Chains A and B, each alone.
Chain A
Amino acid sequence: MATANMHDWLNDHGDFLYRFALARLRDPHLAEDVVQETFLAAIKSPDFAGQSAPRTWLTGILKHKIIDVMRKNMREIAASDLMTDEDANMDEFFDETGHWAEPQLAWDMPEGALEQKQFLDVLQTCMDKLPNKLAQLFLMRDVHETDNEEICKELNISTTNAWVMLYRARMGLRKCLEINWLGA
């Protein structure tokens, strides 16, 4: 690829690619790293012949780089205590009879723009509290609606493990939202 073109692409698409990565990896440094790797791959690739828009082409490369990061993360998570019990030990949420330890309070996403912004800020804080790898998996599933089997194949984890991790992520987020939104 011509060097001048690359500089234009960096100017035109760099921040877009960064936000795309940041929304999925939730870590500024990781996001910058994958954007850099994307441009490196683009420089070295003879493939681009203008058959698609540069942004589409770059985003395609970026997606693969993001999956690579997540796959590496999942290898680490597999060895950690997050995954040791198959049955998702959720003792803090339930009593010994399997009933909710605390009442499930009624709340919903507010309608007004300002309140909704505040709600999303609380959600952002709660996402930050979640272990980042769990947050990434959760985002891959619930935001990008990647097929569950595809996630497991890409990340090399079992479907059961994925269900357990997603359950944990959702339970943690729900609890955090309830405390911080209703408590605010």
Chain B
Amino acid sequence: MLDCKQASQLISQSLDRPLTLHERFALKLHLFICEFCRQFSRHMQTLRVAIKNLTGSIENNDAIEMSSEAKKSIADMIEAHRPQL
């Protein structure tokens, strides 16, 4: 019989690898009787969706720009590599 610690590890790993038949069965059985682990499992799904939203909000946020120093340093670097005629 799984305890909650083991169950939570399997729930996390189920996001990273296919569980074995035995693991899936043991986890299902545990979730059937354990409200907290069911809750934890839902939290893991929520977390995955939320973190995607967060990343998307960074990637698509036009207000986030490179510092002008960094831009200048890249522009200088491009100039320094200007082919000599």
Contact = CB atoms under 8 A, between A and B. Distances in A.
Partners in one complex: yes
Contacts of A90: 5, 8
Interface in B44-85: 44, 46-55, 57-62, 64-67, 70-71, 73-75, 77-79, 81-83
Give the interface SS of chain B, mostly helix, strand, loop or mixed: helix
Given A15-B66, A32-B70, A174-B44, A141 B8 contact: no
Contacts of A97: 3
B55 A143 contact: yes
Contacts of A35: 66, 70, 74
Contact of B36 (A3, A100, A119): A100
Contact of A104 (B16, B39, B48, B81): B39
Nearest to A9: B78
B: contact size bracket: 35 or more
B68 to A, nearest CB: 11
10 contacts: A3-B81, A19-B61, A22-B64, A93-B8, A120-B54, A142-B52, A166-B12, A167-B8, A167-B9, A174-B40
Give the interface SS of chain A, mostly helix, strand, loop or mixed: helix
Given A19-B58, A142-B51, 7 more contacts: A6-B78, A10-B71, A19-B59, A22-B58, A23-B58, A94-B4, A170-B12
